[in-house]
Amino acid sequence: MKRPIVELAGTGRYVPERVLTNADFERMVDTSDQWIIERTGIRERHIASAEETIACMATSACRQVLEAAGVGVEEVDSLVVGTASPDRFLPSQACDIQKVLGANNAAAFDVGAACSGFLYGLNVAEGLIAAGTGKNVLVVGAERLSKITDYEDRTTCILFGDGAGATLVRPSSDGKRGILGNYQKTDGRLGDLLYRSSGGANEPPSEEMLKGRGYFIHMAGRETFKSAVRSMADACDQALSRAGLTGDQVDLLIPHQANMRIIEATAKHAGLPMDRVYVNIDRYGNTSAASIPIALDECVRSGRITAGSIVLMVAFGGGFTWASVVVRW
Ligand code: UT7
């Protein structure tokens, strides 16, 4: 088994208070509670208020991480942020989180990998530490998808929610705890299956852009679903094989929470019964890059993950991107 270079120390999360239920969507678009539950597993999702910016949500999650890890904010040397819905485009989201958090000794930057952003961030953090560039790397996944969701499109609006989660990556304290295997992959040829067409330099904001609704997330659901099932299975295999582990040695699978049927297919492929799979999609919907760190924090704080637990995290998202990390807690 691989000797880990880095460990994860401390977790944190922030979930907005306001909830949108399936019953609320029944009043907004042509849908039903039954359809949403059967096709996605989602019952409700949390929606940020005007004050609950990504900078604010992520800072709250990061403060919990630092407290749990016993690390001072001035000791953070890198801040890596995965998000597809930044508060603004320039400067990066990481810069605005750094400012609010007061992590003034850190280099701060975003990783653009959509729903896989948190796991890409963990992999970047491992690389920084392996290269001797970092010792305390905060990794964040945070989204305010409600701001880029088309609430007139029933095929996407019922899916997304807001929130933030984080962890700290640092050198492994005993050469046993930490990341045992990881993997990341991209297929840009499939980028037009999940995208936002305007708002960027190709199609800058205009009245026409707003009418065309290109500012919002568009997704070819069925094709994305099929790719997600295939790619998350690939990601499980690759990380486990790099760690020298098999599925039956995994104590807990934390999959990206995009669709209950994708989660079940991933668990089946990895040979894991559902009681070894963490599911919170019913409460939060799809929070993109935030989904895995929110789930991780819930598992750590509820005692579902304890010292020595083998945890497999696997994500898939726009790009398409996919990634996996297997860690001994
Ligand atoms: O976060 C990373 C990437 N995201 C994903 O991995 C998500 C992948 N995709 C999915 O989760 C699913 O494809 C969806 C949940 C988005 C859609 O479920 P589906 O079972 O693939 O439905 P579908 O797109 O094949 O549509 C089936 C029917 C259609 O009606 P017709 O054409 O058969 O008459 C849709 O118009 O369901 C209809 N439909 C709805 N009906 C009620 C689509 N959305 C809704 C809705 N309520 N909200």
- Looking at the predicted structure, is the pLDDT value of residue 214 above 80? yes
266 in contact with ligand 1, CB cutoff 6 A: no
Superfamily of domain 6-174: Thiolase/Chalcone synthase (3.40.47.10)
CB 109 within 8 A of CB 80: yes
Coil, helix or strand at residue 183: strand
List pLDDT tens digits, range 271-283.
Answer: 999 999 999 999 9
Q: How far is the CA of 221 from the centre of ligand 1 (A)?
A: 6
Task: Identify the burial level of 188 via C-beta atoms within 10 angstroms of its C-beta, where 0-12 means exposed, 13-18 middle and 19 or more buried.
Answer: exposed
Which pLDDT does position 199 carry in this prediction? 86
Distance CA 245, CA 4 (A): 14
- What is the third-level CATH fold of 179-328? Peroxisomal Thiolase; Chain A, domain 1 (3.40.47)
Give the number of other CB atoms < 10 A from CB of residue 31: 17
- Ligand 1, residue 227: give the atom nearest the CA: 6
The number of residues in the chain equals 329
Coil, helix or strand at residue 329: coil
Taking phi over 0 as left and psi of -120 to 50 as alpha, with beta for the rest, 40 belongs to alpha
Residue 148 belongs to what H/E stretch? none
Residue 1 — pLDDT band, cuts 50, 70, 90? low
Active-site residue set: 115, 256, 286
Checking DSSP bridges between strand 78-82 and strand 107-111, what pairing results, if any? parallel
**Same CATH fold assignment for domains 6-174 and 179-328:** yes
Q: How far is the CA of 49 from the centre of ligand 1 (A)?
A: 27
Mean pLDDT, range 281-307, rounded to an integer: 98
List pLDDT tens digits, range 10-61.
Answer: 999 999 999 999 999 999 999 999 999 999 999 999 999 999 999 999 999 9
198 in contact with ligand 1, CB cutoff 6 A: no
Q: How far is the CA of 155 from the centre of ligand 1 (A)?
A: 5
Helices marked H in the chain — which ranges?
22-28, 33-40, 54-69, 93-101, 117-130, 154-157, 207-212, 221-243, 260-270, 281-284, 291-302
Distance CA 167, CA 137 (A): 8
Residue 288 — pLDDT band, cuts 50, 70, 90? very high
Tokens of 169: 């990556």
Q: Where are the domains of the chain?
A: 6-174, 179-328
